[in-house]
Amino acid sequence: MKIDETDRRILALLQENADLSVAEIGTRVGLSSTPCWRRIQNLEKQGVIRKKVALLDRRAVDVPLTVFVMIRTSQHNDSWLEKFAKGVSEIPEVLEFYRMSGTVDYLLRIVVPSVETYDAVYKRLISIADLAEVSSSFAMEEIKYTTALPLGYAG
């Protein structure tokens, strides 16, 4: 799908505040409501806009601790990965889950209320499948956090 400058401006506004009305977005990008609405609908239909969500404050919902978990495994087959991916995906505290290149096979971002709660998540995680090594790092300070994607490359 071709994304032009107007689409990029619409997407930037939606990434900043998805509650903006179509009329407000249209005004800001120089379109009337109907063409703006059509563009947004097309971006949704094409899968550029996956969904609209509310971003919650972790501290307000009592999950202030962020843990990055690096996992190494000696298992590199489809059935192991399917079992592991399914099990990890069922842990609500796991917000992000990546298969990596390099010395670490998988990287997880987990949020929990405390180290004790993380320990329970850790025990659940290691019960899913055989793991060679699990290393956890606790974030001391969140310096930058955004969900907004850079749009300069879209096109």
DSSP 49: S
What distance in Å separates the CA atoms of residue 126 and residue 102, rounded to the nearest whole number? 21
Name the CATH architecture for the domain at 65-138: 2-Layer Sandwich (3.30)
Side chain identity at residue 14, one-letter code: L
The set of long-range contacts for 128-131, using a CB threshold of 8 Å and a minimum separation of 24, is: 128/83, 128/84, 128/87, 128/88, 129/73, 129/75, 129/80, 129/83, 129/84, 129/87, 130/73, 130/74, 130/75, 130/80, 131/71, 131/72, 131/73
| β strands within 37-144, DSSP E | 65-72, 94-99, 106-112, 133-138
| Burial (CB count <10 Å: 0-12, 13-18, 19+), residue 117 | middle
**Each residue of 76-103: pLDDT tens digit?**
899 999 999 999 999 999 999 999 999 9
User: In terms of Cα–Cα distance, which of 81, 73, 137, 139 is closest to 104?
Assistant: 73
84's enclosing H/E stretch is helix 78-89
| pLDDT for 47 beyond 90 | yes
| Residue 155 confidence class, pLDDT cut points 50, 70, 90 | confident
Mean pLDDT, residues 100-116: 98
Confidence (pLDDT) at 34 = 97
| CATH 1.10.10.10 domain residues, the chain | 5-45
Partners of residue 70 on adjacent β-strands: 107, 135
pTM across the whole model: 0.89
Which CATH class name applies to 5-45? mainly alpha
**What's the token pair of residue 75?**
């298992």
| Residue 13 confidence class, pLDDT cut points 50, 70, 90 | very high
What distance in Å separates the CA atoms of residue 107 and residue 80, rounded to the nearest whole number? 16
| CATH 3.30.70.920 domain residues, the chain | 65-138
| Residue 142 confidence class, pLDDT cut points 50, 70, 90 | very high
Confidence (pLDDT) at 98 = 98
